[in-house]
A and B are shown apart, each in its own frame.
Chain A
Amino acid sequence: MKRGGLTREGWIRLAVVVAFVLAFELLCRLGVLPRTVVLPPSEMATSLWHLLETGEFTADIVSTLQDVAIASALSIALGFALGIAIHALPRLRATLEPLLASYYAIPTFMFYPVFIVVFGVSDRAIIAIAVLLSIVAMIASTLTGLDRIPRVLRKTAAIYRMGLARRALLIDLPAAAPHLFTGIKLAFAYAFIGVIASEFILSGQGIGYQIAYAYNNFENRKMYGLMLLVIIVATVANAVLDTIDRRLQSRLRR
C-alpha cells in the first residue's frame, strides 16, 4: 500500500460512498423516500451539528463513551489475564474449547434482563453485559497469540538465559502483539455494540436510550442526528483500529 495519499481502490471506494450519499439525498429531496420515514443526509448532518452545539445530549454522549471505555478496558484486561491462565493449563483449555468455539452462537444479550434485576437499571448492568459480550474475543485472541509465538524465539530466549519475566516482556509480548491487538479491536467493537444495544432496550440515559426515546416520540430530526453520530463514531473508531491492525498483521508476514 502507498504511504500518504489514496490508492486507486481508495479513490473508487470514496467515490462509491459519496455517490451513495448523493443518491440517498436526491431520493429524499425528490420525495421518493417520504420525510416521515427518513430525512436527507444533509438534514441529518445539520441536526447533529445543532444537537452538538446546544449540548442537549452531551451528558448522554459522555455516559455512553464512558461505559464503552470501562467495558472495553475491563474485558481487555480480564480477557488477557484469563487467556494467559487458560493457556498455561492445557487440561482446562481442552475442556473449555467447545465453549469458546460456540460462545458467539449464544445470544448472550438475552441475559441483559438478568443483570438489570441484579444491578437495577444502571451503568453497572450495561457494563456487565458489554463485558460478557466482548471478553471471549479477547481470551480467544490471547490464546492464538500465545500459540503462534515461533519456537525459535523461545529457544533464543533460552540461549540468552532470560528469566521468565524478561522473556515474557522482551519475547512473548512483542511476538504475540499483532494477535493481541486484533483482540483489542474486537473487544472494543463488541463493547460498543453491547452498550448501545442495552441502552436501547432498557436504560435511563445514553445515546441508545435517546434514539429509542426520540423514536417513541416521533422526533425524527433528533433521532436521525443521533443515529448519524453513532455511525460516524463507530466507523471512525473501527477504521483507526483496523488500520493499526493491518500494519501489525503485515509485520507478521515479513
Chain B
Amino acid sequence: MRRLVDFILLLVGIVAAWQILHWIAGDIALTSPLDTVEHLGKLLGTERFWLNVAETARAFVAAALISLIGGVALGVVLGLSRTSAIVSEPILIALYSLPKVTLYPLVLLCFGLGISAKIAFGAMHGLIPVTIFTMKAILQIKPVYWRTAETMRLTPGQMAWHVALPAVIPEVLAGARLGFSLTLLGVLIGEMFASQRGLGFMITSAMGLGDIATIMAVALFLSVFAVSANALLLLLDRTAAR
C-alpha cells in the first residue's frame, strides 16, 4: 500500500516538475504534460507512427535476441576457465565504456544503410553487458557443483547446459535487463544518425523542423515502454531469484 502511495507521489512529482519547467521554458522549448499526452494520442491514431514503431521494434527484437543468445554463449565459454575470464574481463569492460557511436560509421560501411546496420549497432551495445554478467556468474558458481559434475563424468557441453546455465539464470536476467535498455538506445541512436524509418528518425526529422511536440511525444512513448519493460524484467528477476 505504502509503495503504491510512493509511486503515485513520484508520478505526481515528475508531472509537477515537468509543468513547472514548461512554465519557465515556454511552449516553444517544452510542451506541457497535457499537450504532450494529447499530441501522443493524435500520433497513436496515425498509420505512419505505427509503421515507424514496427521498424524500430523489428530492429530492437533482432538486436536483443542476438545480444542475449550471443552474450550468454560467449559468457559461458569465457567463464568456464578462470584464466580466460581474468584475461578477458578488462577487455570487455574497456569495450563497454567505449563511446560506441564513434564506431557507427564503421558499422554503416560494413552493413550499408538499412535495418541490418541498426541491428548490428544495437547488438554491439547489448552483447557486452550480457557477456560480462554471465561470465561473472559462472565464476561464482559454488565449486561443489563442479565437483559433482566431475563425479558424474559430464562432458564440457553437458556441464554448460545442465550445471552452469541453470545456476546463473538470476545474473543473466540482470545482465539482460541492462543489455535490453542499451540495445534500445543503440537502435535509436542508429536511427537518429542515418535512417529513413523508425522512431529515432522521427525524432531527428522533428528536430530539424523544430517540432518539439512530436519529440516530447515520442520520447514519452519510449520512456513508458522502457520503464514498463524494465519493471517486467525486474519482476521476472525476483521470481527467478527465489
A41, CB-defined interface residue at 8 Å: no
Whether B230 contacts A102 by the Cβ 8 Å rule is yes
Number of contacting residues on A, CB 8 A?
Answer: 52
B207 in the interface (beta carbon within 8 A): yes
B19 to chain A, nearest CB (A): 15
Contacts of B20 on A, CB cut-off 8 Å? Answer: none
**B226 adjacent to A16 (CB under 8 Å):** no
Q: Known: A9-B83, A9-B86, A16-B87. Contact between A212 and B193, CB under 8 A? A: yes
Tell me the interface secondary structure of chain B in the complex.
helix
List A residues 1-46 near B (Cβ within 8 Å). 8-9, 12-13, 16-17, 36-38
Cα A8 to Cα B192 in complex, Å, equals 44
Tell me which residues from 96 to 141 in chain A have a Cβ below 8 Å from any Cβ of chain B.
Answer: 96-99, 101-102, 104-107, 109-111, 113-114, 116-118
- Residues on the B chain within 8 Å of A214, using CB: 105
Stretch at the interface among B22-30, B46-54, B63-71: B22-30
Q: Assess whether B99 is in contact with A196, with CB atoms less than 8 Å apart.
A: yes
Q: Given A95-B10, A109-B185, A110-B219, verify A227-B103 contact (CB < 8 Å).
A: yes
Instruction: Find B102's partner among A13, A113, A211 (CB 8 Å cutoff).
Output: A211
**Which residue numbers of B lie inside 8 Å of A, CB to CB?**
6-7, 9-10, 13-14, 25, 28-30, 83, 86-88, 90-91, 93-94, 97-106, 108-110, 177-178, 180-181, 184-185, 188-189, 192-193, 203-204, 206-207, 210, 212, 215-216, 218-219, 222-223, 226-227, 229-231, 234
A to B CB contacts below 8 Å, 6 in the list: A102-B234, A114-B215, A196-B101, A200-B101, A235-B94, A238-B94
A sample of 6 more A-B contacts (CB under 8 A), given A193-B100, A239-B94, is A102-B226, A110-B222, A113-B207, A118-B30, A230-B99, A231-B98
